């Protein structure tokens, strides 16, 4: 549990800083060029890291494994980050942050449906999280960006559960993540090409902006290396160590960081509703990360003591 907690905290910090930093680049070069740039950097970084494991494990992956990896990459690495980028060009960091964190509640609902089990602490977590998101979004007018983030929350939840149900025996985690990144790069390049052919886009101007603007370069390299390559590896590692539900709730640590950056550097304002809603979301996270595991362990110890 100690290792899982450290991973959860690291993911929270990375994710919390990713929305504001992404928006710096997206507003200047657009969602599709930004996503293509970051996934290209991500693929290079993760491939370089995983090269020794690729040489050792690549022969263990058969055609069915490649198909499963392709299916896995679609919700987790291709669709969710792309929609995030599009939505961040249409709404504020705060709105995007509030709505995407409906995802853990949705994950818990899916988990209870598939397992046919209802845990009372999970129900409390869902209620707290749901109330928190409702309070946080109360003063925001829902437009296209907000609806995209809501759809993304559902897709992300399904992707988390799918990741838990599909496993690869005898293959190092970095290998499966790398292959998914390569598939995602191919999909993103194809979609970006379609976007380019259907719009009057000046590629030279975009390239010049990337090279000449430090904030754009920073956002691309940060999101590409830390916010994508590293965080995807941590994401799948935490799912393997714990569960999809634990992993999704652990990411609720990041709204505090996102909102802090949005307030301090992007000029967004906090109010009482934001503080109360954020507190409820963090409470739901603590229930699943700390209270529920402790309660489960307590029950197990009690059963052993009576045997």
Domain ranges of the chain: 2-306
Higher pLDDT, 41 or 97: 41
**Cα angle 51-246-224, degrees, rounded to a multiple of 5:** 35
Q: Which of 34, 36, 38, 57 is nearest to 179 (CA)?
A: 57
Among 2-6, 127-131, 238-242, 263-267, the range with the most confident prediction by mean pLDDT is 127-131
Helix axes 31-57, 214-222, angle to 10 degrees: 40
Give the pLDDT band of residue 50 (cuts 50, 70, 90): confident
Q: Is the pLDDT of residue 20 over 70?
A: yes
What's the whole-model pTM score?
Answer: 0.77
Helix-then-strand count for the chain, H and E: 16, 0
What distance in Å separates the CA atoms of residue 215 and residue 225, rounded to the nearest whole number?
15
C-beta of residue 255 within 8 angstroms of C-beta of residue 278: yes
Q: Is the pLDDT of residue 79 over 80?
A: yes
Give the pLDDT band of residue 248 (cuts 50, 70, 90): low
Q: Tell me, what's the pLDDT at 277?
A: 79
pLDDT in tens, 186-198: 999 999 888 888 8
C-beta of residue 208 within 8 angstroms of C-beta of residue 66: no
What distance in Å separates the CA atoms of residue 95 and residue 53, rounded to the nearest whole number?
40
């Amino acid at each position: 549990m100690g290792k899982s907690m450290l991973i959860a905290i690291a993911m929270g910090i990375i994710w919390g800083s990713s929305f504001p930093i992404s928006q710096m680049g997206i507003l200047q070069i657009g969602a599709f060029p930004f996503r293509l740039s970051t996934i290209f950097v991500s693929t290079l970084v993760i491939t370089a890291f995983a090269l020794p494991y690729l040489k050792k494990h690549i022969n263990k992956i058969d055609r069915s494994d490649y198909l499963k990896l392709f299916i896995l990459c679609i919700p987790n690495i291709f669709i969710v980050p792309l929609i995030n980028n599009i939505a961040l060009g249409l709404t504020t960091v705060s709105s995007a942050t509030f709505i995407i964190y409906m995802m853990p509640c949705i994950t818990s609902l899916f988990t209870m449906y598939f397992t046919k089990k209802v845990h009372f602490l999970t129900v409390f977590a869902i209620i707290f999280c749901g109330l928190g998101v409702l309070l946080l979004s109360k003063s925001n007018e829902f437009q296209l960006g907000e609806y995209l983030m809501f759809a993304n929350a559902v897709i992300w939840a399904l992707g988390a559960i799918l990741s838990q149900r599909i496993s690869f025996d005898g293959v190092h985690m970095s290998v499966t993540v790398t292959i998914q990144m390569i598939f995602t790069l191919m999909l993103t390049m194809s979609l970006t090409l379609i976007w380019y052919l259907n719009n009057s886009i000046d590629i030279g101007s975009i390239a010049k902006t990337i090279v000449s603007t430090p904030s754009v370069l920073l956002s691309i390299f940060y999101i590409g290396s830390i916010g994508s390559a590293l965080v995807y590896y941590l994401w799948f590692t935490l799912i393997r160590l714990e569960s999809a539900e634990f992993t999704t709730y652990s990411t609720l640590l990041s709204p505090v960081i996102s909102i802090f950056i949005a307030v301090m550097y992007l000029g967004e304002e906090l109010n009482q509703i934001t503080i109360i809603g954020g507190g409820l979301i963090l409470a739901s996270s603590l229930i699943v990360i700390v209270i529920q595991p402790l309660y489960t362990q307590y029950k197990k110890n009690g059963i052993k003591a009576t045997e």
